[in-house]
Copies of this chain bind each other. A is one copy, B any other.
Amino acid sequence: MATATHCCENEEKIAHILEAAQKRFGLYGLGKTTMQEIASDLGTSKGSLYYYFPDKGHLFRAVVEKEQSLFLSFVEDKIRELTDAEMMLKAYVKIRQTYFRTFLNLSRFRLEDIREIKPLMEETWADFEKKEKVIIRKIFSKGIRDGIFSISELERTVSLFLHLMKGLHHRKTKNKGIFYLEPEEYASLIKDDNLFTEIFIKGLKYK
């Protein structure tokens, strides 16, 4: 065990590793990043990384999970400030847009990379989806409670909303080998997101 004065060293070290890994993975993807490079960036040795992470895949996963939880807590915070379900949903969509642009740097994660370690990541993606659904469900439930939304199948509607949004983003980014959008393509995606949200919200409202 570490002494009292060094109680945070371990976590700090891990945080540093995650930071360095995130930079490399974010820029070059999983396949084009070596453990050696990450170690060199940190001025440490490769073997050291294996003291903290069992393998490259788990390091990658840790980076992704860190970004996911950053996104989730950011959304939670923003939503807590709001009182109106409609506003909440719009805020959620907006933050999600930003998240995919800046936080996770998904624009740089290559498609292949994500498939490469599919078995390991599957649980992570599923878990993230669950957590996103919790948020959306909360928003929809509030809307129902407040008498502005009329939703007969809550679970299916939550799932549908998320799938529609994911699908919308996916369609725009596929067909290219990598996740990357030209500025005007991105702007168009935002517009689509907003129009979608507007129509969907209106579609949920009481008449």
Interfacial residues, chain A to chain B (CB-CB below 8 A): 153, 156-157, 159-160, 163-164, 166-168, 170-171, 191-192, 195-196, 198-204, 207
Specify which chain B residues have a CB less than 8 angstroms from the CB of A156 in the assembled complex. 191-192, 195
Selected from B157, B192, B200, the residue in CB contact (under 8 A) with A203 is B200
Tell me the complex Cα distance, A153–B160, Å: 23
Selected from B153, B168, B198, B202, the residue in CB contact (under 8 A) with A195 is B153
Tell me the complex Cα distance, A199–B203, Å: 5
Determine chain A's interface SS by DSSP, over half rule: helix
Tell me the complex Cα distance, A6–B170, Å: 50
A160 touches B202 (CB 8 A): no
A204 touches B199 (CB 8 A): yes
Provide a sorted-by-A list of 19 A–B residue pairs whose CB atoms are within 8 angstroms: A153-B195, A156-B191, A156-B195, A159-B192, A160-B168, A160-B196, A163-B168, A163-B171, A164-B168, A164-B196, A170-B170, A198-B203, A199-B200, A199-B204, A200-B200, A200-B203, A201-B203, A202-B204, A202-B207
Specify which chain B residues have a CB less than 8 angstroms from the CB of A157 in the assembled complex. 195, 199
Tell me the complex Cα distance, A68–B192, Å: 26
A160-B168, A198-B203, A203-B203 known, 14 other contacts, Cβ within 8 Å? A156-B191, A160-B199, A163-B168, A164-B164, A164-B168, A164-B196, A167-B168, A167-B171, A170-B170, A170-B171, A201-B203, A202-B202, A202-B204, A207-B207
Specify which chain B residues have a CB less than 8 angstroms from the CB of A153 in the assembled complex. 195
Specify which chain B residues have a CB less than 8 angstroms from the CB of A196 in the assembled complex. 160, 164
Tell me the complex Cα distance, A203–B160, Å: 15
Specify which chain B residues have a CB less than 8 angstroms from the CB of A167 in the assembled complex. 163-164, 166-168, 170-171
Tell me the complex Cα distance, A166–B159, Å: 16
